[in-house]
Structure 1
Amino acid sequence: MSLDQPSEFVKHQTLTRDAFLDGRLTVSQPRNGFRAGLDSVLLGAATNRACTTLLDLGAGVGTASLVSLAHNAALNATLVDHNQDMMLLAKDNIAVNDFANRAITMVLDVAAKGAVRAAAGLKTDYYASVIANPPFFVETEGTLALDPGRAGSRHMRADLLDLWVKTAAASAAPGGEIIFIYPLDSLGALLAAFEQRFGGVIILPMSPRPGEPVTRVMIKGIKGSRAPTNMLAGRALHGPTGRGFAAEFDAIFRGRARLVW
């Protein structure tokens, strides 16, 4: 899809063109509904620099993958999402940012059975890095968003989270890394799903400011590892006062550094 020849979805949506990494990336996304932001940049910047194959589960418009591709010239990415309209936008974003020769999109339900994933072309035991920012409200909690795109990006049944981790485990190469970003209040279920399948699990808690409660976590596991789980010291996105980001995160959001953990 080109935004010059929009789909019916785009015709009925107002799109914004947003700059990431200090303008190195331009991402088109719907003005209303779920929008890529800080979590997507953190996720894309958290991958191992040595990885050459990336799988982005629930990729949306592709921001996390684009960040990884911008950081790693040797990387090839596969973006998967059940929402065809988001995948059309992701495909356009890939082209606009000159990554068409290094990234592909795939319309597929992340929680689909293995046979369905295989039929769609998703590889098993293949990807050196698998990343995801899954929907995080179960259907019985929170307020369901009125916009279908936003609801689909933020809400799913509680049992589906384990299926997302299962798909990540099946897709990752032996020794590959699996990285999710998620709200703290759902860490228990996510950690249980990771520890059932991976070793060397690392949890990185993040808070808005020093001394404030943790709001989000990044969690990484290694396929085939038997190393124990480790929780790192928490990190604050902002300084004690003001709106600016802490130096570490400011460098990440400007594309000058990767997330080191």
Structure 2
Amino acid sequence: MTDPDAPLTRDAVLGGRLILAQPARGHRIGHDAILLSALAGPDDRTIIDFGAGVGGAGLAALIRQPAASAVLVEREPDLAGLAAGNAAANGLEGRCRAVCADVTTLNRAGGERLEPADLVLANPPFNLVSAHRTSPDGARARAHMAEDGLLEAWTVAAARCLKAAGRLGLILRPSEMEMLFRAVSGRFGALEIRPVHPAPDRPAVRILARAIKGRR
């Protein structure tokens, strides 16, 4: 859990069109969330942001797509509260709500029920717990550390939360490509991969992936 008394910063993204309050320490919005938001298109009228944090990807998607609405799913109560506050502060509360829930419980018995969406955006934790030392900041550690099988669990949850032929958008590290192929197998198809390079002559540091539910 984040410290509710920790200082906050207010940071502008998308050229100042979106202002986000976020903890000064711990997990903070980065380029990944903004890159992920660019996967939302004009046909994506309903969006669910998995692991939303303070709402960076989901709210940026709403700025990019004025006809869309979104649900921001975040399991840390303090971050979910900040996501709701950021929606209101940016005039997006009528198109957005924040839900405090574990992604893996969505649309399961006893879990939060969401209406099927056109698009799920997901920025899953990217380091396996077994392979890395964890951050001393609990919320930061949970945001960056993935249990084995978590990517597949999030993909299964996305399939439950999407309409037929709905789209899943992810941002991952290139080293996670094999895990991605396993996770989408049998659930999603028409997989598109877009590498993100920090410079033309440097290797990719992230991949943006899109897949369609039920396709091969």
TM range (shorter): over 0.9
Question: What TM-score do the two structures reach when normalised by structure 1?
Answer: 0.79
State percent identity of aligned pairs.
35
Work out which of the residue numbers 146, 149, 165 in structure 2 matches 1:159: 149
Aligned-residue offset at 1:189:
0.5
Asked if structure 2 preserves the Cα contact closer than 8 Å seen for 1:76 and 1:102, the reply is yes
> What does 1:63-82 correspond to in 2, within 5 Å?
63-82=56-75
Matches of 1:224 and 1:138 in 2, distance apart?
A: 28
**Whole-Å separation in 2 of the counterparts to 1:190 and 1:98:** 35
One-letter code aligned to 2:34? V
CA distance in 2, matches of 1:196, 1:33: 36
Q: Does 1:122 align with 2:114?
A: yes
Q: Distance in 2 between matches of 1:121 and 1:164?
A: 15
Does 2:30 correspond to 1:40? no
Distance 2:43 2:113 in 1: 24
Structure 1 residues without counterparts, runs of 5 or longer: 1-7, 227-261
Asked whether the equivalents of residues 33 and 149 of structure 1 are also in contact (C-alpha less than 8 Å), the reply is yes
Q: Deviations over 1:30-52 (max 9, x none)?
A: 11111111111111111121111
- Whether the 8 Å contact between 2:45 and 2:67 is mirrored in structure 1 is yes
Q: Which residue of structure 1 lines up, in the alignment, with residue 42 of structure 2?
A: 49
Query: 3-state DSSP class of the match of 1:48?
Result: coil
Distance 2:23 2:104 in 1: 24
8 Å contact kept, 1:136–1:183: yes
Contact 2:159 2:213 in 1 (8 A): yes
Moved more, 29-38 or 85-94: 29-38
SS of the aligned residue for 2:193 comes to strand
| Partner SS, residue 101 of structure 1 | helix
**CA distance in structure 2 between the partners assigned to 1:61 and 1:191 by the alignment:** 29
What is the alpha-carbon distance in structure 1 between the residues aligned to residue 193 and residue 201 of structure 2? 18
| Alpha-carbon distance in 1 for matches of 2:128, 2:110 | 24
Contact 1:184 1:214 in 2 (8 A): yes
Q: Would the aligned equivalents of 2:76 and 2:100 in 1 still touch at CA under 8 Å? A: yes
Shift of 1:161: 1.5
1:191: Cα distance to partner?
A: 2.0
Match of 1:9 among 3, 15, 21: 3
SS at match of 1:165: helix
Aligned to 1:207: 197
Match in the other structure for 1:25: 18
Residue 192 of structure 1: which of 158, 182, 186 is its match?
182
TM-score under structure 2 length normalisation: 0.95
Unaligned runs of 5+ in 2: none
Q: How many pairs were matched up?
A: 214
Higher share of residues assigned strand: 2
Deviation of the 1:159 alpha carbon: 1.2
* Cα distance in 1 for residues equivalent to 2:177 and 2:27: 21
Q: Which amino acid aligns with 1:18?
A: D
Q: Quickly say closer, same or farther: Cα 1:83–1:70, change in 2 above 3 A.
A: same
For residues 209 and 182 of structure 2, what CA distance do their matches in structure 1 show? 11
Please report the RMSD computed on the Cα atoms of aligned residues, expressed in angstroms: 1.4
